[in-house]
Chains A and B, each alone.
Chain A
């Protein structure tokens, strides 16, 4: 499915966290609270997408892509109109303080974000490997027909997957704004990072995705320190282009 609006949902999650944090809600808690809301939102978006494009059949590719692109664009411009182009921050007890390990000082916000991200990823990995629905989601990408034979409805599975993906955006968005300031234009950057990680890791591979995420993170910080901030945005996309050209199946694909 051509879901190119995903990074926009991520930024939306960050902004929703920002709004809740404005009422004094802890940003992490806000992210968790937003998950069910985003889940339902995701179900709705998929249902709409399905009934207007996939269900209709012919030529869904082009228009589906254009649809999600338009949605992403509207989210971005909408956020600019509501919040302005300035960067936004949240505050919590673990933001701005740091933990010392001997010589090293690690900001607590980083540790929190890292821990939650790891927990979220592990939970998803477990979900995809242990539950029937989780496995069905992985199967639907490969063979819809076989899934139908197993008695599962591919449309329902995909809708469910879309909901989970969108819900994940809520928490990930909260982490994003905990780690650093957010402005509406970052979604362009995250399009690059998201697809870079996914393609590099190989579509549908959880462990590949983790490793790819690490590689990208390291590559970005290396470029940041050696070539300066001005080059940072190009890293994710540069890697993405190289991978597409050399190994479209990803690092671990066959």
Chain B
């Protein structure tokens, strides 16, 4: 635990000192996206990787965070910190709600319900003119960001903090009795229940936390782009990436989603810029299928095969 805390602080210090090394604004712009994917992938893994319930609608949780932040910013000019808290609360509530509705049923129903929620909410936002409807809404960035070179650098740092928080939460869950309970649910739900695991409560908790983290990742999105519109915010790309990254990185360990997010996130930044964004998402889809079929334990699993001596 202590080692992890020191590591986390080191990562944050590194993120804060990045402006001393890089002066190119684009580095932070791209880095933000990668960090955002670390949060999304880690959040997905808490429910998907540990408990085995597949969320297809990560985009919706992300977008609820983003739009909650936008609505509150427009109405009360809330500061970013409160926007993030509110976005997390709204998406967490959504996770809890979808969980209440479907987590009693077989896993596939939960997955379908998450797609359903994504489309219903996208339709609602498309018709919600206060936040711009289908046309979108430009967002004014605050003019000054004390202590940081630019607003992008500030957001980069905020996302780095969220990433550390998400990974810390995932790691805590994984190594505690909660994680063991979630894995028992994934392996065999009936046996878990008969071993004293309150399966519904644990699943609801995981769905809530997972949703809240996704919402937190989405909250600064409008400020990052200075603009928000439904199509890109609810994009299927978030859903696919949030699921592909942990599966490709390895679902069993908290570092897996991080590896997947860093790898896929950086590759996508490069491919989108140099080739095309359609090829980019196709690559993610193909990699997802290839890994699911050929390397079910992800990159971590491959790694362990190469170095069998290292124990989890």
Contacts and interface: CB of A to CB of B under 8 A. Distances in A.
A192 B114 CA distance: 11
Contacts of B117: 237, 241
B13 interface: no
Nearest to A65: B54
Interface string A232-254: 01100110110011001000000
Interface stretch (B121-129, B171-179, B192-200): B121-129
B52 to A, nearest CB: 5
A77 B285 contact: yes
A66 B54 contact: yes
A89 interface: no
Interface stretch (B66-74, B103-111, B209-217, B256-264): B103-111
Given A69-B56, A81-B279, A240 B285 contact: no
B289 A70 contact: yes
A22 interface: no
Interface in A61-95: 61-63, 65-67, 69-71, 73-74, 77-78, 80-81
Nearest to B115: A191
Interface residues of B, number: 45
B120 A234 contact: yes
A231 B126 CA distance: 9
Contact of A61 (B52, B56, B116, B292): B52
A248 B105 contact: yes
Given A192-B115, A241-B116, A241-B120, A61 B107 contact: yes
A237 B127 contact: no
Interface string B37-66: 000000000001000111010000000000
Interface residues of A, number: 37
A234 B123 contact: yes
Contact of B289 (A62, A74, A241): A74
A231 B123 contact: yes
A195 B117 CA distance: 13
A252 B70 CA distance: 43
A4 interface: yes
Contacts of B286: 70, 74
A244 B113 CA distance: 8
B102 interface: yes
A52 interface: yes
Contacts of B187: 58-59
A188 interface: yes
A139 B117 CA distance: 32
Contacts of B244: 70
B113 A241 contact: yes
Nearest to A191: B115
Contacts of B111: 2, 4, 65, 69
Nearest to B290: A70
Given A62-B186, A231-B127, A237-B119, A77 B56 contact: no
A215 B248 CA distance: 41
A154 to B, nearest CB: 18
A123 interface: no
Given A4-B112, A62-B48, A234 B124 contact: yes
A79 to B, nearest CB: 10
Given A61-B108, A63-B296, A70-B244, 17 more contacts: A2-B111, A62-B107, A65-B111, A73-B285, A73-B288, A74-B285, A74-B286, A74-B289, A78-B282, A80-B278, A188-B119, A230-B134, A234-B119, A234-B124, A241-B116, A241-B117, A245-B101
Q: Which are the 4 A-B pairs with shortest beta-carbon distances? A: A237-B116, A234-B123, A70-B289, A70-B288
Interface of A: 2, 4, 52, 58-59, 61-63, 65-67, 69-71, 73-74, 77-78, 80-81, 188-189, 191-192, 195, 199, 230-231, 233-234, 237-238, 240-241, 244-245, 248
Interface of B: 48, 52-54, 56, 100-102, 104-105, 107-109, 111-113, 115-117, 119-120, 122-124, 126-127, 134, 186-187, 236, 240, 243-244, 247, 278-279, 281-282, 285-286, 288-289, 292-293, 296
